[in-house]
Structure 1
Amino acid sequence: MLESITRIKHIAFSEIRTFRRLTRFWVAIVVLSFACVVPYIFSAFSYIFLAPYSQSMGATTPFYLLSYIDPTYFLFFQLVILFLLFDSQHRLVRSRLQESLDSKPPKTFEYLMGRVLGISFLLWMFIAGILILMYLVGLVSIISGLEFSDVFQIHSLINLLIIDVPVMLVFWASWTVLLSTVLRSRVIVLIVGLSTILVWFYLTQQLPFSLHGLVTPSSNDTLFVSDVLPQFVSFTTVCVRLATLTFACGLILLASSLSGRTETEKNVTKYSFSCGFLLLGGLVFVLAVVSTLARHNLVSTWQLAHEKSSWDHELDILAVAGKIEIDPGKELVADLTYEFQVMDSTLSDELTFSLNAGLTVEHVALNGVNVNHTFNDGLLLITLLEPLKVMEKQSLQVVYRGKPHPRFAYLDAVYDYEHDRLIPPNTVKFFGTQGTVFEAGYIALMPGAYWYPQPGSIQNRAKPLAVERDLFQVNLDVTLKARNWKLITTSDTDEISPGKYKVMSNIDIPEIGILASNFESVSTDIAGMTFEIVTHKRHGRNLRLFDSFGDSRREALEELIQQELLNGLTLPNRSLSFVEIPRQLRTVGGGWRMPSTQSLPGLILMKEHGFPRANVRRNFTRIDDEFNDDFTESQRARYEISSLIAFFDNFSVGTDSLKTNLVYQSWKHFMSARGENAALIDNVIQHLIGSLSPSGFYMFSVHSATRIAPQLSIHVDTASKRPGQRAIGNWILNDVVKNERNFQNRIRNIVLYEKISLGNTPSNYGNRFDVEHLMYKSSEIATGLRILHDNTVLTEWIAEMQEDFRGRTYTFEELQQHAEQHEVLIAPFLTEWIESGNAPGYITSDATTVRIADDENNQPRYQTSVHLCNEEPTSGVVAFRQVYTTGMWNWGNPIIVVLGDSCVQVNMITEDELSELWMIPYYSMNQLQVQIDVHTNSEDFSQLQPGPTTEDTSWSPELHEGIIVDNLDSGFSIPNQRVSKNSLRKLGPSFWFSNLLGNELDLFKNMIVVDLSQNLWSEQPNKHWYLLRTPWWYRAEYQYNPYGKYEKNHVQARANSTRDRARFSVDIPEPGVWNLEYHWPWGPDQTNDLFGDATWELKVYIQSDGSLFETKVDMRTLTSGWVNLGTFELAAGETVVEVSPEVINRTKFRGRIYADAIRWLRDSTE
């Protein structure tokens, strides 16, 4: 045995010497070095230029880098192994070493094993050298204080070097050796080897995160690299690695048995051993698969049990009191007493509560009497001895113990991002996976993990908008056995003695959360509110920033918190703690809305890779680098605090958004609407609070965040740019934030043109659409309220409601009463805009400007009048933007409400004559600002006094003749077009250079929307029809005037590259001769630029009652507006006009085909 091992060792070192002499080996080393060093450099740049300015970018620094290794990097090494070993057998024959081997003692197995171990050890030494060098660079950076990089997290380094890389190298070397031994032909070896590598790589890209651990070569891929809760490999990974090594041994034995060499040991024996190893490896791998599936099937079992529960009664929890004992990592013991009352109808059979399935219920008593109970799959069923009457107070005691299961959380979530194969692992890790953390190093008892009993089963309700939150008092005695730890809860927490805490709420709250670890903190009182930052003691460096918190910084902090974060409001809880959490903890909630859980009553959770580990001091030292001594002390203090606030908010996405979490603190956690549209009303008020901020605001949506999160990666354009600096490309952090905030506009076309009401929630479009619809409509309602009212009025209105509704539920009628007291007009925003699917739609006349009587100071005055009609039954709000001949401009004056199906004359009084006038439509069918032509009336109106802002008018929009079908109408479609969406899982280095937003935007009528006005899409498709929405300047610059009743845009496609036809369908009321007209959107100069001397004949097909007509038109001859395409005999009923993307006499110039609108006119000569 020892001799065999010695021979294998000698062969391995001999192979190492051989490979080191090969030129291809050094070529491979250069390529691999580039592949390893470049992401590290980008990550170091991110550590310098991005992480200090954004808490969302902290995970891209070197400390977490080994968690973000894409399978592509392992693919590089697998290809190198194939590149070095594919001709190994051929080289033996060519150098006549095969004859020498046949005459020498080494057995075939020993030689093949030595070759595998030799190349594997050689490449492992290279990888280890590169990683250790990078680690030393980070170590030097930290020790020297230069802070140009960071070290790898040590557990992730061990996982990669000791467990992952050796197994990967040995397996693929064994596979290649088997192929080269059996197949002999180098070309076939390359083909088969490359095919198997690519098939494996395809599997790593196709499996969701929940199954990713079965195929990924990196255990860090499914682990959460953490400094607070470091992780070694999981049981599944251990099984997979053992199975892989066993497979490798079986492959080497199989290769030796098929090598053809004559040895004393029979090939049958080696073949049997190889089959045994392969079978054993298969069994171990099956064990890994079974354990993985069992873990996920357990969650499915819980979900099914709760979905089957028919208990549907309303309980009002009044108070929760009792004792809790926490032994970190071991056991939770709780004795809780609930005061509650039944709200809907008398209960006569049983009570149902949900409790974490990892716990064990020991005792249940109702009104002091022990009662029977069952507890299975997280459902606690309590048998009633007598009926519980409505509105009578009851008392329920529950005693339980155990360790909460981290997976028993958010069982009612309608979207499972862990099971979505399009979602890359890094995105999953951005949100976390564990609903609760109960480890020896950290405790996070989250409400969504049901660590305390909560009424009812965990399932979504039939009317999600009517769901309200229950609020109750909390009075708990908590014992924490880790006495050097600190306890943080969602209520006021006082430490009575080491390890013993009194937890009481000074205001009713809807949920209870408990966090505990080896924390340290710093706090300050500002404007009657207490602000505290709590981090793990390993990450206390940034807390030192507040040690020298002088008066200037305190004044700046108070001013900026009031202005930029609280918007003049106060926090109902009067205190707020920012608490560090490990990366494993899930920050996405459940239900149909799946909100951010990074905010709890009185708490905002900070991910470990954000503020706790960020080099925030670099944010402050930038002042010295850029401004030298130009700042006064107060200016410097303001800049420092402003930079700190920007770190938390301006460049944060997903659940990290500070404004979203603060809005929850201002409203959601301490009051709740009740009634039919409870969730909607709360959502609107929260949007309104957020929109009062001077900077942008958006609400978190897991659906948009999963599409945006992949952009939080190292990238060539962001690597060396601070937030706010422009890069060569458009992929910078500002754009990532902008992309997420604009993402809700994806669904606005469907909402507006298909007239979908929020009252139809849930809709047939699915949960993602419903959530985005809620966000979009809430944002539009909040914007309408804010535009129509002064911010001071809205702030006073909200502040009074905060005080009145604090700690209780409220009705829409109560909100309406407060609005009337503050003269806040909530109609049509909280009435028609919610109830109706119709949006307002405006048509304007040209504007006329006249000089009227001078004012009392003899200063000239001008009155500009324009007629405005709302053609839809829903009321709306509009504003105007005025540009004067002097170059000055005025925005938002006047702002008026236009009733549904009405017309008004709007009069604007200005000191200067207008040169331009724009209508800003807000929520309406007019999605873009409308430019109004301004004409000056030179007649004498010097005696005319200013008219009212609005007055009645007899003007009405011009009626268009014929039957018109626009590209936005229901009669237009691209029936056969199918647009494939890019996968969100980019391949390795392609991540560095790609724009990841791509065509993940939703489609409208099977078309991508190219929205140049909001930059929601930067590339125009080559093989599909797409809707082009342009900004106002585009029309003037390019002589562009498409048709549109409310919004002017068109549909286009690249000629001869698109197969599908654009279809206009219309019902012809009566048979006869009809003229077909086609609307051309371009002026003559632009038409000439588009086609030049090329011959472009557009083909149009007309179908009517089985008859098919074809007509052609030379697009060079088209003029802007309606163009006659011919006269046709049509039958009554449906008539279809199809515009073909194929053109006649195609030239090398590849232009576009346009589908704007068609019009049928009855032939007047008939």
Structure 2
Amino acid sequence: VDITVEVPAGWLVAGPGRRITLSEPDSSSGRVRFAFRPPSPVPAVALLASAFERRAMDIDGVTFEILLSPKHLDNLVLFADAQEPIRERISELLTESARLGLPYPYGGFSLVETPHLLRGFGGGWRLDSVQALPGMVLMKETSFPTARFARFFDDPEELRELEDAEGGIAGFKREVIERFFDNDFTGGNIFLGASRNFVAYQTSATGRGAIALNYVLDELFNRLVTGKRGYFSAHEFDSQMGVTMMGTMSDMIQGESGAIIDSIIANTVQRPAVWDRALASSLAELDPSDDPAQVLNVMALKGGAVADVLYDGLGRQRIAKLLAALVDRYRGGHFDAVEFVRTSKDIGVDIEPLLGDWLNEAALPGFLVSNVIAERLAESDNAKAQYQVRFHVRNDEAAPGLFRVRYMSGNRKRRSRDWEPTWNNTEPFRLAGYQSVEVGLLSRDPPLEIWLEPYLALNRKALRLDIPNIDFEQRSLADPFLGVKPSEWATDPVAAGIIIDDLDPGFATEYDDGEQLSNFQFQVESVDDGTTNVTLSMGPSSATLEMDQGLPVLPDLFGAGGGFGMWTRDSNEPRSWGKYRRTYARIAAGSGSRRAVFTAILPQDGMWQLSYHSPFAGGKMRKKGEHNARSARLAKLGGGSGSERSGYDLTLSAGQRAWALEFDASASERGWNDLGTFDLSAGTVRLSVSDATDGESVIADAIRWIPANEVESANPRLSARIDR
């Protein structure tokens, strides 16, 4: 494009790229003329003009400027001494992108203040941010221009400490600015906005699956150069925003989050409804006109996972080579999914072995993990191979999938207050359907934590593996094993006996007083299609709770103590039962009129042992090192403190017979607890668990029936557990 703009003298104009001055202010006309002639294509053009105050610097041939209202200059003064660290950071990003074959395409970049009332999102199904434009990012006046940064620098003692720290006060100020924009989830994140110039504004996908392909490419470039992630849509500010922010606040309180934006994304896309939609259709089949907000969430969930697979599986250099090839071939135009695959193959970056038909397949893998073997190896010359960990992983579904292993090792005796763990990540491993592999890890120090992280699977969350106690005196003579190799492991411990989990069809809830479920904070309403809506009141606003297979999901901040007087589902306890997902149902103590029912069909007459699964050891805290705000609260759910008895009201019924059973949750073991052995006929049996308890709440996780003569051979459970 070639644009000429005339404005009043004293005004400046921001546009696509570098601004060229065509004439000096004319005293007779009181006007001045500028031009914009970007050397690369622009998909859209925006012009913003005002009597701006300007600050600028030239970095590696690109002019960077910030244009503010003359009334909002306080922060420019505050951060004036951070100019050099800011220059170094921008130069670092430009140099790295150019080295990777993706130089900045325009000669200038403007950061422009706009009025708060100016709408920051566009139309269409996505309601995407319009604050990111070719050659510029807009920031509302209530953002950086008027943010109260001075409070970070009003403590003289802290300032003296910063002077002695690496980078000094100026370096700290640069970090403050970067964190500020990192956590802008309203569309004004300058890192995400500026990154669109390099790929998205140069070329884009079209045709079937284009929405998903463009999303993945955006994610890849962000990871490649800025190392940041995130997305914006006005859909975020819907009735679920309150629940999302409560989840984010809970993560921050419990110390389970890194950047705020990462927690917001996780609490947005990890909802049961998003997973239901993701499992129902492939990325190419997603119809943006059918619930566009949910389509965007599914895109973030599945598209983000695809980007992670490509980035981790191919590496930075090959990802950069792929993006650069797409821009070079299709700059100013479009490409479809077939051309994308062809381009990747032409440059020797074949993505199909990693992902298969990721655009058109909806099915997902499901991973099972065997018990872990951990041992100390015999002395060797390899200092990094002192400890061996081995375990088997099976994909128990037809769809292929990928996982990696993240693990930490260390010597507990050498740990101190300043001790920082060392985490290691394996490369992604691909497992075909119904395939098993054995994984081997080596470390210099004893293993402390091991996580199996599926990129996208029915497990939904990472699996934390239980590490057995290591006999440090015993040395293994086995050869060190690092990596993966084919395995014949196909044992499914879940198949031992007849297990009914809270996610199985044999689980249901019953209410004798369903019309009395609503209270001052929760409103329960039956819908014509047979489902139930639960609305949470939060002062003047309200939010509809997510439903997970018929049960509402209570935000963590509302889960303290006894919880809610309706059966709810929790998926955050790693020791609950489940084949892929680990969840349990719970309810606050009540009168006995609200029940969870486990129904099973016994295939034969005989003596059957019944067990009840408890995710918590009654009244006991987690071991030291696993304690946090959440575990302290959850330790009470099984029956309060160790001195408080928590009896459950259980009733077993089979045909015309019924038994009242006793179960003291405060004395329970974590895992399977024996409820007794019964002489039963083949057919339907029901275990009813009511809300009557002298504790704070009742938990319904899973039950297990085993023929009495097979009890000794039953494999109790998988070693892996799911956690955040």
- Which residue of 107, 110, 115 corresponds with 1:582? 115
1:904 aligns with 2:427: no
Aligned in 2, Cα 1:1108/1:656: closer, same or farther, shift over 3 Å? farther
Deviation of residue 940 (structure 1)?
A: 6.7
| Counterpart position of 1:1112 | 660
Does the aligned pair in 2 maintain the 1:1023–1:1057 contact within 8 Å?
no
Taking the aligned partners of 2:433 and 2:555, their CA distance within structure 1 comes to: 28
Deviations 1:103-148 (A, max 9, x none): xxxxxxxxxxxxxxxxxxxxxxxxxxxxxxxxxxxxxxxxxxxxxx
Q: Normalising by the residue count of structure 1, what TM-score does the alignment of the two structures yield? A: 0.49
Compare the two structures and name the one with the higher strand fraction: 2
What is the alpha-carbon distance in structure 1 between the residues aligned to residue 4 and residue 577 of structure 2?
A: 70
- Give the C-alpha shift of residue 1089 in structure 1: 5.9
Q: 1:867 to 1:545 in 2, by over 3 A?
A: same
Q: Which digits, 9 at most, give the CA deviation of each residue in 1:987-1039, with x for residues without a partner?
A: 5xxxxxxxx9x966523124343576xx897686321222233455xxxxxxx
Q: Which residue of 1 aligns with 2:623?
A: none
Q: Secondary structure of 1:630's partner?
A: helix
Letter of the 2:279 counterpart: K
Unpaired runs of 5+ residues, structure 1, are 1-473, 719-723, 988-995, 1033-1040
Return the match for 2:142 from 603, 609, 615. Answer: 609
Cα distance in 1, alignment partners of residues 437 and 555 from structure 2: 31
Judge conservation of contact 1:1009–1:1017 (CA < 8 Å) in 2: no
Q: Which amino acid aligns with 1:965?
A: I
- Corresponding residue for residue 584 of structure 2: 1050
Return the letter of the residue paired with 2:699: Y
Change (3 A) 1:573 1:1048: same
Residue of structure 1 in register with 2:631 after alignment: none
Q: 1:631 to 1:860 in 2, by over 3 A?
A: closer
1:1004 partnered with 2:538:
no
What is the Cα-based RMSD across aligned positions, in Å?
4.6
Label 1:857 to 1:898 Cα distance change in 2 as closer, same or farther (>3 A): closer
Partners of 1:932 and 1:752 lie apart in 2 by: 29
Q: CA deviation at 1:852?
A: 5.1
Give distance in 2, aligned partners of 1:962 and 1:923. 29
Residue 498 of structure 2 is aligned to residue 957 of structure 1: no
Alpha-carbon shift at residue 671 of structure 1 (Å): 1.8
Is 1:1022 the equivalent of 2:553? no
1:689 corresponds in structure 2 to 221
Given that 2:18 and 2:63 are in contact with CA atoms closer than 8 Å, whether structure 1 keeps it comes out as no
1:1031 and 1:563 map into 2 onto residues whose CA distance is 42
**Would you say the 8 A contact 2:405–2:450 is kept in 1?**
no
Check if 1:967 corresponds to 2:502. Answer: yes
| Alpha-carbon shift at residue 511 of structure 1 (Å) | 2.0
Counterpart amino acid of residue 190 in structure 2:
L
Instruction: Specify the SS of the correspondent of 1:675.
Output: coil
Identify the match of residue 782 of structure 1 among 298, 303, 307.
Answer: 307
Matches within 5 A, 1:663-674: 663-674=195-206
| Number of the residue aligned with 1:866 | 391
- By how many angstroms is 1:628 displaced? 6.1
Task: Give, in whole Å, the separation in 2 of the partners of 1:674 and 1:971.
Answer: 45
The residue number in structure 2 matching 1:755 is: 279
Three-state SS of the structure 2 residue aligned to 1:1154 is strand
Q: Kindly state the Cα deviation for residue 790 of structure 1 after the two structures are TM-superposed.
A: 3.7
Instruction: Tell me, in whole angstroms, the C-alpha distance in 2 between the residues paired with 1:1085 and 1:858.
Output: 42
Q: Which has the higher helix share?
A: 1
What is the percentage of aligned positions where both structures have the same residue?
20
Number of matched pairs: 646
* Alpha-carbon distance change, 1094 to 889 in structure 1, aligned in 2, over 3 angstroms: same
In 2, are the aligned partners of 1:1011 and 1:1028 still within 8 Å (CA)? no
Equivalent residue runs for 1:255-274 within 5 Å: none
Task: Select 2:168's aligned residue among 635, 651, 659.
Answer: 635
Distance 1:629 1:608, change over 3 A: closer
Tell me the residue number matched to 2:15.
Answer: 489
1:1062 aligns with 2:596: yes
Aligned to 2:336: 811
Q: 2:402 aligns with which of 871, 876, 879?
A: 876
Aligned counterpart for 1:740 among listed residues 261, 264, 267: 264
Whole-Å Cα distance in 2 between the matches of residues 1054 and 712 of structure 1? 23
Please tell me the residue identity of whatever aligns with 1:1139. S
Would you say 1:982 and 2:533 are equivalent positions?
A: no
SS of equivalent to 1:665 = coil
1:1157 aligns with 2:719: no
Matched ranges for 1:319-718 at <5 A: 474-480=1-7, 482-490=8-16, 493-497=19-23, 498-540=31-73, 542-543=75-76, 554-555=87-88, 557-559=90-92, 570-614=103-147, 616=149, 626-627=159-160, 630-631=163-164, 635-647=168-180, 649-692=181-224, 697-706=229-238
- 1:884-912: per-residue Cα shift (whole Å, max 9, x none)? 45566442136423333210111223334
Q: Deviations over 1:600-624 (max 9, x none)?
A: 1222111012223345566567688
Q: Report the residue type matching 2:364 in the other structure.
A: A
The answer (yes or no) to whether the contact 2:639–2:645 under 8 Å persists in 1 is: no
Kept in 2, the 8 Å contact 1:1062–1:1155? The answer is yes
Distance (whole Å) between structure 1 residues aligned to residue 576 and residue 229 of structure 2: 33
- On the 8 A contact 2:545/2:554 being kept in 1, the answer is no
- The alignment partner of 2:440 has SS state of strand
Contact 2:588 2:696 in 1 (8 A): yes
**1:769 aligned residue (291, 294, 298):** 294
Q: What letter corresponds to residue 919 of structure 1 in structure 2? A: L
Name the aligned partner's letter for residue 16 of structure 2. T
Distance change in 2, residues 1:922/1:871 (3 Å): same
Equivalent position amino acid for 2:484 in 1: T
SS state of the match for residue 980, structure 1?
strand
Superposition pairs of residues 1024-1043 of structure 1, within 5 angstroms: 1024-1030=566-572, 1041-1043=575-577
- Equivalent position of 1:1096 in the other structure: 647
Check whether the contact 1:876–1:897 (CA below 8 A) recurs between aligned residues.
yes
Which residue does the alignment assign to 2:716? none
Counterpart residue identity of residue 660, structure 2:
K
Amino acid aligned to 1:869: R
Cα deviations across residues 1122-1152 of structure 1 (Å, max 9, x unaligned)?
Answer: 6456455465xxx684634343xx6xx3432
1:707-763 superposed Cα distances (whole Å, 9 cap, x missing partner): 6877999xxxx9xxxxx9x9xx88999996565233223425761698333344239
Unaligned 5+ runs, structure 2? 24-30, 416-420, 512-523, 525-531, 621-637, 711-724
Q: Which amino acid aligns with 2:65?
A: E
Quote the offset at 1:867 in angstroms.
Answer: 1.3
Displacement after TM superposition at 1:599 (Å): 0.9
- Go from structure 1 to structure 2 and tell me whether the alpha carbon gap of 1:608 and 1:872 turns closer, same or farther (over 3 Å shift): same
With normalisation by structure 2, the TM-score equals 0.75
Offset of 1:526 from its aligned partner?
A: 1.7
1:1019 and 1:520 map into 2 onto residues whose CA distance is 55
The 8 Å contact of residues 753 and 925 in structure 1, kept in 2 or not, is answered as no
- Does the CA contact (< 8 Å) of 1:894 and 1:949 recur in 2? no
For 1:1045 and 1:1091, the matched residues in 2 are separated by 30
Structure 2 distance, partners of 1:981, 1:735, is: 29
Shift of 1:595: 1.4
Which of the two has higher C-alpha Rg?
1
Q: 2:360 aligns with which of 835, 851, 860?
A: 835
CA–CA separation in structure 2 for the residues paired with 1:477 and 1:1085: 74
Cα gap change, 1:488 to 1:1049, in 2 (>3 Å) = same
Which amino acid letter does the alignment assign opposite residue 665 of structure 1?
Answer: N
Task: Output the CA distance in 1 between the equivalents of 2:106 and 2:179.
Answer: 24
